[in-house]
Each structure stands twice: as C-alpha cells, then as structure tokens.
Structure 1
Amino acid sequence: MGVGERLRDARMERNLTLRDISNKTRISEKFLENIESGVFDFAPEPYVRAFIRSYARVVGLNPDEVIKQYDAEVSALKVKKEEKPAVKKIEFDIGTFVSENVIWIIGAVVVLFIVIIAFVGLGEGEKKVVQKKSFESAVEEVSKGVKKEVKTEIKAEEKSVKDSLELKVISTDSVWISVMIDSSTVKEFLMPPNISLTLKARDNFNFILGNAGGVKFILNGRDLGSPGRKGVVLRNYIISREKLEKINSTPAP
C-alpha cells in the first residue's frame, strides 16, 4: 500500500472528506487529490513533505513513519526513471532497399516530375492573370488591405483593454495563493518569501490567501499593501477595475 492509499484509507475510516482535510490543513483539495493518487511532482519537494505531514496528523497517523514511506517511494521512482532501455541498432542496407522497392522509387520520381511541371505551368498562368488585372481590381485590393490594417488596430486595442489590469504579487513570507482571473481562469501558487509574480486581467482578480499577511499587491504601479494579518486565511479578496478607478481618482500622497 502506497502513501496516498494509506492516507486515503485513514481519512475514510474517520469519515472525513477531502474538503474536511482541506479546511483543517489549509491545503488545496486539488493537492490532496494528487497526494492520494501518488502524484508528488505538483509542487517542490519541501512543500509536498509538509503537506503529507499535515495530512497524516489530521487522520491520526505518525507523520515520521509516513514521511519515511514517502521517501522510499520517491527513491524507487527515481531509480526507475534513471534506468534506460537498451537501444536496438538498426542496420540499413541501401542496395537491398533499392532492389526491393525499385518500382515504387520509379513511380515516385514520375509523380514528382509531373508535380513540378504542373507547378511551373500554374505559376505562368498566375503571372498572366496578374498582368490582366484592371485598375478597379487594384483599388479593391488596396481597400481590402486598409480594412485589414484597421481590424488589426482594433484587435490590438481590444487586447490592451483585456490586459489593462496588471497586478504584481510580492511574498514577504511563505504563502499559498489561489486566484480566479476574470471569473474564469483559476491559478494556484506556492510562494516562498521574497518572490514576486505578475498577473494580468481584464476586470478582476478573486483571491484565496493561506497567509494574508505574507503577501502584498501592487496594482498598475499603485501599492495596495498587505490585505491582512500573518497566519490569517482570507477568502474572496477581490481586486477589480473599480478599485483601480477609485485609486486613480485619489491623489497620491
């Protein structure tokens, strides 16, 4: 029985759900699912070990014993990855290949020759068509080109609006972050101290913070500070376009 199965069985014996474990340990349910499935590469090893210890305590297992089993499993996986299968050498006899496939080779040469002739003929035909183009056709093509450039400019403008919110996240302590961008895309991060990342959105960011005092935000160059105290779990913390407009309307000190 692997570490993941052992933790899952202990959880089920206590009639606990993954959400119960998540609420008690502040570990994402997604991470807990990975651990129970024996997938340990979802985060740096120190974090995985800390998650497994916390999980083991909640379900009544000895954390040290579970970590020893985890170390053994990880070592076994590393050994399997390092083992490389023997590569079978393939010898290629060109003379035998030609003699056995001479008909196919001749056919391929003939087809290639026909394609080249057709391509050359098509090119000449296109040149004649270009020479016969009227003044009106040329004007129409120029007009299409202008319309295409205008559409490109509009798309560039839409993109600038889409990415108009730029949020810099700076960790001052170890912190776990889950953020929903524009009510659609969800991202999760494990940030050690003194690390920064930049997020972009059209309308808003909605955060869950495992350590509200371990992070601070800078929105489009304006310092928002820290959203809470250290060790506090903060949910539904929203940074939106309205917040940016309110900040911009307030004179900087």
Structure 2
Amino acid sequence: MLDKFAEELREQREKSGITIQQIAAKTRIDKKFLEAIDQGNFSFLPELYVKAFIKEYAKVIGLDEEETIKKFLIAREGKDYNEVLEQEKLEKEKLKEIKKQETIQPRQTVKPSPVKSYYDDSLNKNEQSDSDRDKMKLLYAAIAGSAIFIIVLLYIFVFNKTDEIIVEETPIEEIVSNNSQRFEEETTNELTTPVWTDSLVLEIFSSETTWVNIFPDNAQPVEFILYPNSARKLSAQNSIAATIGNSGGVSLKLNNNPIEFSGRSKTVRHFRIDKSGKLEYLNTPPKSGQKNDREH
C-alpha cells in the first residue's frame, strides 16, 4: 500500500509539472529524502521526520496536507486508504441524514388534562393552621440561629484570643510560575549574541536537514527541525539532554566554545551535557525527569 501511496504522490507531482529539484528549493529538504519519498522508501528517518517531509511535499504539489498524512498512516498499516476513507464518508453522510430526519419530524404536543377545582372550607382551615405552625417553626429556627451566631462571636473575640500571626499562603499557581524552568530559544540564519543568564548555552549548527529533540534540565522536551545552513540556540541551568536524528549533519558549541561531537549521517544520537560542560553519550533516548544509561 505504501508503493501505491508513493505512486499517487509521484503522479500528482508530474501532473503539476513540478520536479524534485523544485520541491527541494521551496522546502529546503534534502533532495535525497524527497527522492526516497518519490520511490516509496519511507524508512530513511524516524516517522515524525518522515511525516513532516510528506506534508511539505504534498503542500508544494497541491494536495491537502492532513488528508495526505491520513492516507500515509492507513497505507502504513497495510490497508486500502481509498476504501477506509470512503467508508468514513458514508458513515458521516448516514449520521447527517439521521440528524436531518430528527429535525424534520414534528414534535408531538401533549394537551394538559383539565384540573377540577372546588372549595372546601374545612380544608382551607386546615391549611391555615398548618401555615401558622410553619411560621412558628421558622421563628424558633431564626431565634436558635441567632443564639448560635452570638455564641460563636463570643468564643472568637473573648475566649479564643491568641498572639498567633496569620500568614497568608501564596497561591500554588504563583509558586509554580516563579519556580518554572527558564528555557530560551532563538531560530535564525544570522546569529546574534544575546546576554544569557543560564549556566549552559548550547548552539546547534546544521549543515543538513536534521530533527532535534531537546530536554533542558530534564524538563518537558522541545522538538524542532533544522534545515541546511541554519542554527538554534538553547539554554538551561544544570543540564541539557538531546536526541538528534541526523547526527552527522550537526556541530555543537557550549557557551560559545566548540565541543567535540561524533555523529553519522542518517544516524540517531542521544547525549547529555552537564553543568561542567562534560558531554556523555546515552544508550536510550532521554526523557523528562529521568536519567539515562551512559554508553560504555
């Protein structure tokens, strides 16, 4: 099914009169990755990376990006995406028709039955008596409530004097906001030199299209794609962990000093840099709040 999917992409591209080179120029995606998509080879990089490239490819040749990704995911499971999408369309139309029928059908109105009324003097007297008793109960309840209120006030102001100082608690939202990890990032082809307040400032330079996943101080990850001849600067207080998809296409600087980083083209690499500037390679991808095993 992936071959069929790739064939449809290729046919649409040729029908639009667009070449692989033109797509590469518009999207800044490496030509060899676009050729792999054109040939039905979708295993050249991690899935997230591939989906991003397919979206850009579809956009340039005039296809709906979200529908194209949906077809790719269905084809990856070995299913005929045309049949699946057609079935979904039929189910939506059927549901729409049911709602339409419910709207058209008139609502049945129920006529209220006539209420028979009569006057009974004895019943009226009983009701009056019950009303008087209810008023007395309310009066007694009000008196009791007032007495309790007075007792509570006496206890607070007379019997419960204390020199204890009451400290207003800071809302939890404010504490979380004040103690959240700072994370600054800058994406530009012409790098500037801002003033950084954090201990670690990592610059990633990319000579090829590269997927990056960064964990500053073991916090939530920041994921992005670097295109050829671009860079990104990130900062943290104590440590930076990262996963780089195309590790052979990047070089690193820590606090404006180059650091030695070994990677290979089309190979994923995991690493961590601590406050001392030491770089350690990891066996597994880093996760938020978790320390990973080092390579031996």
Rg: which structure is higher?
2
| Bigger helix fraction | 1
The normalised TM-score by structure 1 is 0.37
The normalised TM-score by structure 2 is 0.32
